[in-house]
Homo-oligomer: A and B are copies of this chain.
Amino acid sequence: MSLGTFYGMGVGPGDPELLTVKAASVLGRCPHVVVPKAKAEGGSVALEIAGRYVNDSATVHELVFPMTTDKAELSRSWKQSAQTIAALLETGADVCFLTLGDALVYSTYIYLLRELKQILPALKVITVPGITSFSAVAALTDFPLGEGKEPITIIPTADDLSAVRHAIQTGGTVVLMKIGKRLGDILDILEETGVIGDAVFVQRAGQPTQRVELDLRKLRGAEAEAGYLSVILIHVKL
């Protein structure tokens, strides 16, 4: 029995129309669709976005990837999911794995793919890129993401405030992802460095509960509401 092909696909940050034509077409014919979710009892955001493109006769497999920093637990969950997917591929059927945003930008897919290649070294993998949250945020706000000869620096978690300061010093465009509980600290840094007027904030870009804020001072007092899927773009003149 030959192995099925494994497709890793970014579904974009929220708007179902931001899937690529390729992702939509692969999903339309793929018999097994694997979707990640954070909790056994919760839903999958990736499936909410891409569900309309899934073939009616496909089997959807929900796998839990816990939101934890415990390395042993993470590693166990990647291995377990890779084994589940490998078993499907060994039947000869193709399998799609869906992931938010782009498949290779701060995604569980990266770790899952490593495990899967260990189990099935001869596996054929096709990774389909997706629209990143920061491209979607730029489009929603008409904020130039990269301009002229200026660099773009992307900081994946606002937890590391020294990295945020370093990026602002470098200049150009700074992208802060996964703002979460750090919004208050970030606003302090933006004010201190004089760039708060050159920034935009978007939460859950393209999802029904999306929030766009062009004046970041208005976020004061509601710092606790910024969740994991929040992005800030900042322009720092060089």
A residues adjacent to B (C-beta < 8 A): 10, 12, 15-22, 24-25, 102-106, 110, 113, 125, 127-132, 135-136, 138-140, 142-157, 159-160, 163, 166-167, 170
The chain B residue with its CB closest to the CB of A9 is B139
Interface contact A153-B150, CB-CB below 8 Å: no
Q: Chain A contact residues: over half helix, strand or loop, or mixed?
A: mixed
10 A-B pairs besides A106-B147, A129-B136, A149-B160 with CB distance below 8 A are A18-B21, A20-B20, A102-B145, A125-B142, A127-B138, A129-B138, A130-B135, A146-B156, A151-B155, A170-B170
Interface contact A19-B21, CB-CB below 8 Å: yes
Q: Give the complex CA separation of A102 and B125 in angstroms.
A: 25
- How many copies make up the complex? 2
The chain B residue with its CB closest to the CB of A154 is B152
Residues of B within 8 A of A144 (CB): 104, 110
Interface contact A170-B166, CB-CB below 8 Å: yes
Q: Give the complex CA separation of A135 and B22 in angstroms.
A: 14
Q: Give the complex CA separation of A151 and B144 in angstroms.
A: 19
Q: Give the complex CA separation of A106 and B145 in angstroms.
A: 7
Interface contact A167-B151, CB-CB below 8 Å: yes
Contact partner of A153 among B15, B153, B156, CB < 8 A?
A: B153
Contact partner of A151 among B16, B135, B156, CB < 8 A?
A: B156
Q: Give the complex CA separation of A156 and B129 in angstroms.
A: 20
